[in-house]
Amino acid sequence: METRKYEITYIIRPDIEESAKSELVDRFDKILADNGATIADSKDWSTRRFAYPIAKYTEGTYHVVNLTTDTDQALNEFDRLAKFSDDILRHMIVKLDA
């Protein structure tokens, strides 16, 4: 199976402590790595104001992860767990062209 590139963008709630945010990012990076993904880059993008409130928040910190994987296992696990996380307001997984 061929290796594909993906970009995951997720929005972290703005009132989370810096240490808790670092743990959250580390945990989700580890979920991806443990399920066969190779992370090229994982960094905060910026804190932005929303066009409309999301879960009563008007802004959030955008975090971007670039990765490669040859299975959907890492993406599925990230997607599943991000939906349960109260600290992640929204997430999006995009397949990048080669």
60 vs 79: CA distance, rounded Å? 19
CA–CA distances in Å: residue 68 to residues 36, 44, 78? 9, 19, 14
- Find the DSSP H helices in 14-72: 18-34
pLDDT digits (tens, 9 = 90+) for 51-93: 999 999 999 999 999 999 999 999 999 999 999 999 999 999 9
Go through the domains of the chain in sequence order and give each one's CATH number.
4-95 (3.30.70.60)
44 vs 29: CA distance, rounded Å? 13
Q: What is the pTM of this model?
A: 0.93
Could you tell me how far CA 57 lies from the centroid of its own chain?
Answer: 18
pLDDT > 90? residue 97: no
